[in-house]
Amino acid sequence: MTKRWLAILLLIPLQNLAQDYPKKEINLERIADELFGFQDLDLNYEDLYENIALLLANPLNLNTATPEEFRFINILTEEQFQHLFRYRRENGNFLSVYELQAIPTFDLLTIYKIIPFVTVKDPSTLLNASLLNRIRKEGTTYLIMRYGRILETKRGFTDEASPAQRFIGDENSLYMRFLSRRTGDYSFGFTLEKDAGEQITWNPETKQYGFDFISFHAQLMNKGKIKNITVGDYQVQFGQGLMLGSKFGFGKGAETITTIRRSNMGFLPFTSIDETGYLRGACLTYELSRNILLSGFYSNTWRDATLVVTESEDDFASALQTSGLHRNLSEISRRKNLNEEQYGFILGYQKQQVDAGILFTNISYGVPIVRSPNPYNQYAFSGNGIQNIGGYLNYTFKNFTFFSEAGSTLRGGLGISSGLVGSVTSQLDVAFHYRNYQRNFYSLSSNAFAESSLPQNERGMYWGWRYRWNRKYSFAGYMDIFRFPWLRYRIYSPTDGNEYLLRFNYQPTRNVLLFAQFREETKSRNVSTGNQNTYRVENGTKRNVWLNADYEINRTISMKTRAQFSTYDFNDVKTRGMIILQDITLRFTKLAFTARYAIFDTKDYDNRQYVYERDVWLAFTMPALSGTGIRNYVLMQYDVSRKISCWLRYSHLRYTDREVVGSGADTIDGNARNDIKLQVRFRL
């Protein structure tokens, strides 16, 4: 009780936190810099960003959130995890989020970072209230409507395009989302989307009923023995994402420790507009006993694919399509051609420091997938389906956590993902990861830690570390060594590669962050010998340097300055690239304004530059800039009232080294592209 009364007294000097955070905009741009790493990795950043934004809109309850939910935030060290849950066990429920000050190793900067993601709810309120009352009083309910358009006309909208490539729909992009959610209780909603060039139509032959993409879900949680039941569209994340991985894997980046371990999140609603990353059907998690959970899921949906129709009626799919675009006859011909059925079971055990489980998954297709035979894709998946079986084990001991998952494709190969994350001292955190994915291991729903987009034909070892001298200075880095035992696309021999990163942070106050970052990656690529049938393999080395300053002048004005430089050495030729940008953000009572001016100059696409851009809420923009030119944007947010917010975004891209922008049907005649986006959010 002494600690509890001390925590209550500590709330008094922390009242300035309460004044700042409800009103102050969370810096998602800084979070993206820390978590997303280098954006030439093959990750779905839009969905990762949306998951973070939704978590900010629906904070975790400090008194009920699980360790896996906390780990997904990727802020706390392993030592801080242990102190947090030890404090909760010994002192009972938190009285306020500001009680975090009483936990050992929780300094002010850590508290400032985590407060936007957590909350404390009174457990005595609304426990017996009806669902309607919980929605009205405690839930987060909103409706979003978004409009976007490129002001220039693409060739696909003109008579210059061939009949197969000419866009059928108009030049407007439309988006609508309704969502009502209470963390740990319920969630239901729908999402509608139409890209520029697509139609809103009713066509059963192409399986389109209104908007080009429609997503929906309804979820209930923690209803007696039923811990989670969801119908509609959902995503799955168990173990280390080796067999069942959703959009929760951040890959390698500036956060060198916490992002290596995947969070065992289970079933979550799917609310994105990624037209390939969801399951559609139903899922259930049931508590067999206090420590044993049984989960099962079933999905039946249609995927875009290139379908080959034969005279013998032995039809097959030659390739899966993932763009999600259905603007012309060519793209529509691939729309929802391939039926995909998935089901699986997960038996999980959770008790104190142990989280373990066994998994079985089955995926089958309406027609077989048959690849065009090439040496490099000899072990690419072909056939009617895949069956995988495996297991995972996570174990925490003091300030260290061991995590692992192993899986096997029946009549195929093995895959292993395992590692260790921990705090050696309160200043030094370390991480180690080992992976071994055989060339005939197939997992098409994975987000396991890997250099490639799928965990296949790869072995590797990763070491990461982060050292904090004090609350102002920190130094982090990682090294990753990997090998591809079999041929790959554009790499016609087994190869090795490596990557390392160093980052120095200086944060004298919570409103100022300076960092310098260096990263080098070496990977192989084919080089033509002049004979179209023979190639040699050479190593290519890419180096990146980031210099960044985020600083807040006062409560109204904040700024960001960044310079990024890169070089690429390949086949005795060195090319270079760079981008320099300046941001300014102004915040008033109801109005927020952000503007950027950037200049870039890259020799080729290998030196393309990625920089996160602020966008309307739940939208994500990170263009790949290559060539020479300028990139500008302006974003304005106006809160009409507590329930209505409006966003307006205008972006401009102008090249000085070309006369057209884009290629194919997406070509714009001229050297500039201008985009506008308008969004309105109604809180209900």
Rounded Cα–Cα distance for residues 126 and 592 (Å): 35
Instruction: Provide the b/e sequence for 213-244 (b: ≥16 CB within 10 Å).
Output: bebbbbbbbeeeeebbbbbbbbbbbbbbbbbb
φ and ψ at residue 629, rounded to 5 degrees: 170, -165
255 or 21, greater pLDDT: 255
Vertex 240: Cα angle to 518 and 363 (nearest 5): 120
Taking residue 373's Cβ as centre, other Cβ atoms within 10 Å add up to 9
Both tokens of 25, joined, read 């905009």
3-class secondary structure for 244-297? CCCCCCCCCCCCCCHHHCCCCCEEEECCCCCCCCCEEEEEEEEECCCCEEEEEE
Secondary structure tally for the chain: helices H, strands E: 9, 35
What whole-number distance in Å separates Cα of residue 268 and Cα of residue 246? 9
Q: Which residues pair with 291 in a beta bridge?
A: none
User: Residue 18: its pLDDT value, please?
Assistant: 40
Structure confidence at residue 26 as a pLDDT band (50, 70, 90): low
| DSSP-based three-state secondary structure for 318 | strand
CA gap 161, 155 in Å, rounded: 6
Per-residue pLDDT at 23: 39
In order of 12, 257, 259, the CA distances from 466 in angstroms are 33, 7, 13
Other CB atoms within a 10 A radius of the CB of residue 451 amount to 22
Q: How confident is the model at residue 211 (pLDDT cuts 50, 70, 90)?
A: very high
| pLDDT reported for residue 46 | 65
pLDDT at 378: 86
Beta carbons of 452 and 250 less than 8 angstroms apart: no
pLDDT digits (tens, 9 = 90+) for 225-257: 999 999 999 999 999 999 998 765 667 776 788
Which H, E and C letters describe 615-666, residue by residue? CCCCCCECCEECCEEEEEEEEEEEECCCCEEEEEEEEEEEECCCCEECCHHH
Describe the chain by its helix, strand, coil percentages, rounded to 5: 15, 50, 35
How confident is the model at residue 273, as a pLDDT? 87
CB proximity list for 582: less than 8 A, separation 6 or greater: 559, 560, 561, 596, 597, 598
What tens digit of pLDDT does each residue of 552-589 get? 999 899 999 999 999 999 999 999 999 999 999 999 99
Count other Cβ atoms within 10 Å, centred on residue 53.
17
Nearest to 464 by CA among 250, 261, 258, 256: 256
Position 30 pLDDT exceeds 90:
no
Whole-angstrom distance, CA of residue 660 vs CA of residue 566: 25
d(CA 262, CA 247): 10
d(Cα 548, Cα 114) in Å, to the nearest integer? Answer: 22
Q: Is 401:394 a contact under the CB 8 Å cutoff?
A: yes
Choose between 101 and 661: higher pLDDT. 661
pLDDT at 128 over 60: no
| Terminal-to-terminal C-alpha distance of the chain | 41
> What is the amino acid identity at position 266?
G
The answer to which of 25-34, 85-94, 174-183 has the lowest mean pLDDT is 25-34
The whole-model pTM stands at: 0.90
Q: Please give the Cα distance from 359 to 371 (Å, whole number).
A: 28
Confidence of residue 67 (pLDDT cuts 50, 70, 90): confident
Mean pLDDT of 269-297: 93
pLDDT of residue 178: 96
In the numeric block, the tokens 């010994």 are attached to 90
Q: Where are the alpha helices (DSSP H) in 101-202?
A: 108-114, 131-137
- Residue whose pair of structure tokens reads 């994915």 in the numeric block: 437
**Contact between residue 315 and residue 309 where contact means Cβ atoms under 8 Å apart:** yes
Give dist(CA 318, CA 312) in Å, integer.
16
Per-residue pLDDT at 535: 84
- The DSSP bridge partners found for residue 415 are 407, 437
The whole-number pLDDT of residue 16 equals 47
In this model, does residue 166 exceed pLDDT 50? yes
The CA R_g of the chain, rounded to the nearest whole Å, is: 25
